[in-house]
Amino acid sequence: MSNGQGSARPTKNERREQAREEARIARQEAKKREKRNRVLLQGGIIVGALAIIAVVAVLIVTSIRPAGPGPLNMASDGVLVQAGGQVKSTPALEADAEPVPNEPNADPNVLTIQTWVDYLCPYCGMFERTNGEYLESLVNSGAASLEVFPVSILDRASAGSKYSTRAVNAVGCVVNDKPSAFLDFHSLLFTNQPTEGTTGLDNDALIALAADAGATGDDIAACIEEQRFKSWVDDSTARTLNNPALVNPATGGFGTPTVFVNGNRYSGSLDDPDAFKAFVTQVAGEAAILEQNETPTPTETPTPTETPAS
């Protein structure tokens, strides 16, 4: 029987060497795969980490944004629409400065009306939709001034969008650049008031409402988009919450809406226009009586005698 070299069976040693070589190659391939996977994993971790760092950086920058000045025409933390309808002009409140309260009307016949509102507060919406036109009529006729203090206490109720803060910032943007549009914008915010628990109006919608009110321009849009007055919104809201004069005796805390007429707190119905009108009339009547009592009684002028006909 022929035993040719081509058909010879590998010896035991040759098989052992072949197995070792195959194992060596397998180990090398495994090491290559491990190295490749490690590089890919590290790259993914780095990319993920960079993404996280970017997000955190944005959050940090937003949260530690240096306190900036407030808007023009709101040095009291509110916007004063004077009797006749013109917004009182004031310089911007500097960062960390104390607000400058407006003096009550010097004319006792002109009522001083003040309101504190959150644009997401449904009760504020109820009060404004019920009495807004009446308030504007008092202002436009010269019977009263109206000072509105917008605050942000309901961010927690806007599904993470911080609508209250964005709405107050938008008011600041309008009052800063186009104060004559304030009352219309204020009214539109309540006419289009979102429901608690929703994200509320987005910035584009706020910009559109400002434009509808007559406050247009790239700077107003940019102001709303970048929340230029967010630091002031936070600070003014904190000042409001820490003001003991605004604590409601009935609840022991501050709430919106808070309404004062000549320093008298309104605690009546929010959806009954007659109730608020009666309260305003009562306060106005008391003011008139007080003025009458403080005014010296004039000396009676003698009735002139009739000149006889010639």
Query: How far apart (Å, rounded) are the C-alpha atoms in residues 101 and 208?
Result: 31
* 137 Cβ neighbours under 8 A, 6+ residues apart: none
User: What's the rounded mean pLDDT across residues 29-38?
Assistant: 75
Closest CA to 186 of 154, 147, 220: 147
**pLDDT (average), residues 4-29:** 66
The whole-number average pLDDT for the span 176-203 is 98
pLDDT digits (tens, 9 = 90+) for 43-59: 655 545 444 444 333 33
Largest CA distance in the chain: 179
User: In this predicted model, what pLDDT tens digit does every residue of 202-244 receive, in sequence order?
Assistant: 999 999 999 999 999 999 999 999 999 999 999 999 999 999 9
* b/e burial code for range 124-154 (CB count within 10 A of at least 16 → b): bbbbbebbbeebbebbeeeebbbbbbbbbbb
Percent of residues, the chain, with pLDDT higher than 70: 77
Q: What are the pLDDT digits (tens) for 152-178?
A: 999 999 999 999 999 999 999 999 999
Pairing status of strand 258-261 against strand 111-117? antiparallel
**Residue 4 token pair:** 């040719």
Give residue 84's region: left, alpha or beta (phi > 0; psi -120 to 50). left
Other beta carbons within 10 angstroms of residue 169's beta carbon come to: 28
Burial code (b: 16+ CB inside 10 Å, e: under 16) for 78-116 equals: bbbbbbeeebbebebbeeeeebeebeebeebebbbbbbb
Q: How distant, in Å, are the alpha carbons of 113, 189, 233, 234 from that of 67?
A: 30, 26, 10, 10
Asked if residues 39 and 31 have their Cβ atoms less than 8 Å apart, the reply is: no
pLDDT value for 288:
76
Do 210 and 217 meet the contact criterion of CB atoms below 8 Å apart?
A: no
pLDDT of residue 45: 54
- Asked if residues 210 and 227 have their Cβ atoms less than 8 Å apart, the reply is no
**Token duo for residue 93:** 């409140």
Report the mean per-residue pLDDT for the chain. 85
How far apart CA 124 and CA 258 sit, in angstroms, is: 9
CB 170 within 8 A of CB 235: no
Whole-structure pTM over 0.85, yes or no? no
Neighbours of 228 (CB within 10 A): 19
Give residue 290's pLDDT band: very low, low, confident or very high (50, 70, 90).
low
Give residue 83's pLDDT band: very low, low, confident or very high (50, 70, 90).
very high
**In this predicted structure, what is the pLDDT of residue 157?**
98
Rounded-to-10 torsion of CA 284, 286, 287, 291: 140
State pLDDT tens for residues 267-277.
999 999 999 99
Give the C-alpha separation, 34 to 222, whole Å: 51
Query: For residues 89 and 74, is the Cβ–Cβ distance under 8 A?
Result: no
pLDDT tens digit string along 91-138? 999 998 999 999 999 999 999 999 999 999 999 999 999 999 999 999
